[in-house]
Amino acid sequence: MQEKAIRWDFINKALDNPIISKELKGRMRGRQGFVLLTAYLALISLAIVGMYYYSVSRWYAPAIGPNELQKLGKRIFSAVVLLEFLLIVFIGPALTSGSISSERERQTFDLLRASLLSTRELILGKLGSAVAFLLLLILAALPLQSLAFFIGGVGWEEMVISLVMLATSTLMFCTLGIYFSGIAKRTVAATVMSYASLILPVIFVAFMFYLLIDGVIDPSSKSIEYQRMLIVIIWMLLSSNPFTAAALTEIMLEEEQTLFFFHFPDFSVTLFSPWILFTVFSVIMTLLMIWLIVFYMNRYER
């Protein structure tokens, strides 16, 4: 009973945060929120319709069977999840990169600091409003995403994994925008740094993959322990990116591996599934960035 009381007390404190209620009311009362939601659903709907007609037009009517429908269902599901990831990557930092810096530009930041809200409550309030709006977008697209169930080819495991990865991606990318918004003095600088921090790791991962994959492909002069270490490093790097982690997880499910582990028989290595590693990575990065920005604001913004 005491654990339940503590849990509900935490939820009530989060919901009672005035920043969350103010930001959400302001976003949903205006046109911007509804226009963004409509455009988001329209884009996903157009992608589904286009993929459906493209796939059906390539088949003769008598040849459309269960196997073709399952392939179509997987394509639709993959396309919807890919679009959701792309929109989260671009919308998340855009929603939060001006959360703190815009308050400085409007000269209202000192008023927020003078209120009864602690620095952590201020950061979590700004983050909570953006995350709640993006989760609304994800849930709004859930009926479109579940069309793959009616067509076939997609199981409940893929649906749950996609929702978990989308939710943790939302947390990480929104926190990324708030982190740079708290450090930068201007919104433009915070936005540039947020998107640069999204592009540079992709280039780094691709560069490291290019350097390390040679040791796995050409193992003649390498020991088996060295090859295993390279596989673990490459696996961790690929699992830190939402797109490659989702693609590897889909390949794992298609090869009928378990939901939680992936086995490399040639190297006798068993690793955690990419979606698990990405989820853990996202949560750790989110908590680390929140701690860093709270520490920075408590020390340098007083």
Q: pLDDT tens digits, residue range 65-80?
A: 667 777 777 888 888 8
Residue 228: pLDDT over 90: no
- 168 and 283 in contact (C-beta within 8 Å)? yes
Percentage of the chain modeled with pLDDT above 70: 82
State the pLDDT at residue 266: 67
- 91 and 134 in contact (C-beta within 8 Å)? yes
Lowest mean pLDDT among 110-114, 142-146, 284-288: 110-114
Tens of pLDDT along 243-268? Answer: 888 888 887 777 766 778 877 766 67
Pick from 88, 236, 276: which is nearest to 172 by CA?
88
Residue 40: pLDDT over 70: yes
Residue 51: pLDDT over 60: yes
- Residue 61 is given by DSSP the state G
Residue 281: pLDDT over 90: yes
The whole-angstrom separation of Cα 93 and Cα 190 is 9
Sorting pLDDT into bands at 50, 70 and 90, what band is 226? confident
- 144 and 45 in contact (C-beta within 8 Å)? yes
Sorting pLDDT into bands at 50, 70 and 90, what band is 282? very high
User: Average pLDDT in the 146-158 region?
Assistant: 76
The whole-angstrom separation of Cα 273 and Cα 276 is 5
Domain count, the chain: 1
Give the structural domain span for 158. Answer: 2-300
Mean pLDDT (the chain) is 79
Tens of pLDDT along 7-27? Answer: 555 556 656 777 877 777 777
Residue 6: pLDDT over 60: no
Whether the predicted model's global pTM rises above the 0.95 cut: no
Tens of pLDDT along 289-301? Answer: 999 998 888 876 6
The whole-angstrom separation of Cα 11 and Cα 14 is 5
Residue 59: pLDDT over 70: no
Name the β-bridge partners of 264: 269
Please name the amino acid found at residue 137. L
Lowest mean pLDDT among 124-133, 152-161, 203-212: 203-212
C-alpha dihedral sign at 236, 237, 240, 243: negative
**Mutual orientation of helices 156-183 and 187-217 as an angle, nearest 10°?**
130
**Is 157 or 8 the better-scoring residue by pLDDT?**
157
State the pLDDT at residue 29: 78
Q: How far is CA 64 from the centre of its chain?
A: 35
The whole-angstrom separation of Cα 146 and Cα 41 is 14
Tens of pLDDT along 195-218? Answer: 888 888 777 777 766 666 655 555
Name the β-bridge partners of 271: 262
Q: C-alpha distances in angstroms, 253 versus 124, 166, 243, 267, 279?
A: 36, 18, 16, 20, 17
User: Average pLDDT in the 115-140 region?
Assistant: 86
State the pLDDT at residue 217: 54
The whole-angstrom separation of Cα 245 and Cα 16 is 36
Half-sphere exposure in the Cβ direction for 150 (13 Å, CA) = 5
